Amino acid sequence: MYDYGTESFYVTASATGNTGTIAISMVMYMIVSLCITIVSIVALWRIFKKAGKPGWASIIPIYNLVVMFQICDMSPWLILLNLIPFVNFVSAPILSIVMNAKLAGKFGKGVGFALGLIFFNFIFTLILAFGDSEYEG
C-alpha cells in the first residue's frame, strides 16, 4: 500500500563532499589564526622593547598585562578586579579603555589614536609597534 522508495536510503555524493570542505575551512582558519597570533606577539614584543621592558614578557599570559600596566603607569593590582565575578563585566572594559588611552599618550599620540587603539586594536598596535613613535615614559 505504501511505497517508500529506495532513493532516501542512499547517501549522495554531495553529502560526503561537505566533510572535506569543512576540514579545509578549519585548517585555513587555524593557519590564519596562527598568523594573526604571531604578528600580535611580535608587535607587542616591539612595544615592550620601545618602552624599555623585556620583550619576552609579551608571551607570558598574565605577566604581559602586568608589564603593560607598568608601561601605562597604572597599578598592576587593578588586574585583580578581573578575578571578581560580576565586577569583571564592568572593570575589564573600563581598564582596557583607560590602558589604551594611556598607552597612546605614553607614545605621544592623541585622542584619535587612542580611539583607534580602543576600536581597531590590532591595526593600531601594529602602527604603534612598527611606526616611528617613541616611548615618552
pLDDT band at 11 (very low <50, low <70, confident <90, very high): low
Query: What values do phi and psi take at 112, rounded to 5?
Result: -60, -45
pLDDT band at 69 (very low <50, low <70, confident <90, very high): very high
Burial of 77 (0-12, 13-18, 19+ CB in 10 A): exposed
Distance CA(94)–CA(107), nearest Å, equals 20
Q: What is the mean pLDDT of residues 94-114?
A: 96
Distance CA(128)–CA(105), nearest Å, equals 11
Picking from 84, 81, 83, 79, the residue whose alpha carbon sits closest to that of residue 67 is: 79
Output the pLDDT for position 112: 96
**pTM of the entire structure?**
0.80
pLDDT tens digits along 15-60: 556 778 888 999 999 999 999 999 999 999 999 999 999 999 999 9
CB 82 within 8 A of CB 99: no
